[in-house]
Structure 1
Amino acid sequence: MAGEFEQLVAEFERFQAGIRDADDRFAGLGAMRQQLTELRASAASPDGGVTVVTGPGGAVLDVRFTEAALAKGPQALSATLLATLREAVGEAARRQAVIVEESMGDDLGLVEQVLETQAVAFGTTVEELRSKLTAEQPAAPEDFSEQRVLRPADPPTAPPTAGPSAGDRFLRNLFDEED
């Protein structure tokens, strides 16, 4: 009977460990959701004439053209735009996979799946995309805690030295006329 009890206790402890693991994973869902909402990825054409900014799910948020890109003609502009769009959407997908994997664990191998799929779709290698992935990691936010945020205050200016207001003049004239 003691053996059965010890077995039940061991199973209960494994069950509790599983619950703690699930709690830990789900505790980070709010932060993961925030990161995904704020996700921005951008790509520029090799000549810098076309820039595309994407958000979560590869949604296109902005497309910018230089005058030089517009002067290339419709076919060249179209080809450059499509290539730049693919790169920006691919970058967004890679970043999303990293965010999800960091929050949920790498049990699914999500980043590897995305890299392998993109390698086939883009006609490149997983290693090439992996090198882009490490280059795409956003820089740590700059620390401005020791810097003034607002510009220095302008030196105080002297109040205007205008004469009496229109209301003051009216009242003075009113009383002056009665005398």
Structure 2
Amino acid sequence: MPADLDDLQRKLEALKEAGRRAEERMGDFGRMREEISALQASATSADRSVTVTAGPGGVTDIQFTADALRQTPTQLSDTVMSTLRQAVAEAARMQAEIVQEYLPDSDVRDRVLRTQEELFGAAPADPPSEMVDDEEDMPDTFLDNRRY
């Protein structure tokens, strides 16, 4: 009977340890979510007439200088769309770097960079070194709280 009691005690300790690790990981996901929620990326057009700011939920601001108003509607539209793509792409890279930091075994950063390279036809500039991981590794509660 003492062997059974020892085995039961080992299983209880293993269960407690698993619970502790789960709580720690949930805390990590909470911190990761806070970091992602706070991030903002800005891009400014080459002619400096348009600046777009984007975050995890998409575009949060677009600013125009007086020079923007001197463009034709088509030129302005092209400038806005190009700058918007740059800001959103940078925000995605930043999110990927944050996730990558918390889930170092994932390949989310590489996947984001590959996808952007496929979409934009060229490798993006080197993103900051502290960014994100893959959505497949995220808990459903994290994904459900994203804004679109």
Q: Which residue of 2 aligns with 1:26?
A: 26
Q: Which has the higher contact order (CA 8 A, sep 6+)?
A: 2
Residues in 2 aligned to 1:80 and 1:43: alpha-carbon distance in whole angstroms: 11
Which of 114, 117, 136 is 2:115 aligned to? 117
Structure 1, unaligned runs of 5 or more: 1-5, 138-179
Number of residue pairs the alignment of both structures matches: 131
The answer as to 2:132 corresponding to 1:134 is no
**Deviation of residue 21 (structure 1)?**
4.0
Partner of 2:69: 70
Kept in 1, the 8 Å contact 2:97–2:109? The answer is yes
Output the amino acid matched with 1:62. D
CA distance in 2, matches of 1:118, 1:12: 47
Q: Take 1:107 and 1:89, find their aligned partners in 2: how far apart are those partners? A: 25
Percent sequence identity over aligned pairs: 41
Shift of 1:121: 0.6
1:65-93: CA deviation from partner (whole Å, max 9, x where unpaired): 11112201111111111000000000111
- SS of 1:77's partner is helix
Q: TM-score of the superposition, structure 1-length normalised?
A: 0.60
> 90-99 or 24-33: which moved more?
24-33
Q: Cα offset for 1:115?
A: 0.7
Structure 2 vs 1, CA of residues 36 and 52 (structure 1 numbering), >3 Å: closer, same or farther?
A: same
Structure 2 unaligned runs (5+)? 1-5, 132-148
> Normalised by the size of structure 2, how large is the TM-score?
0.71
Equivalent residues of 2:97, 2:130 under 8 A apart: no
Displacement of 1:107 in angstroms is 2.5
In 2: Cα distance, 1:135 partner to 1:52 partner: 22
Report the aligned-residue RMSD.
2.9
Q: 1:23 to 1:136 in 2, by over 3 A?
A: closer
AA of the residue aligned to 1:69: A
Any idea what the Cα deviations from partners look like across 1:107-127, whole Å, max 9, x if unmatched? 2211111111011111112xx
Question: What is the distance in 2 between the residues matched to 1:93 and 1:64?
Answer: 20
3-state SS, counterpart of residue 28 of structure 1 = helix
C-alpha separation between the residues in 1 aligned to 2:21 and 2:64?
A: 48
Structure 2 residue identity aligned to 1:33: R
- Ranges of 4+ aligned residues in structure 1 off by more than 3 Å: 6-23
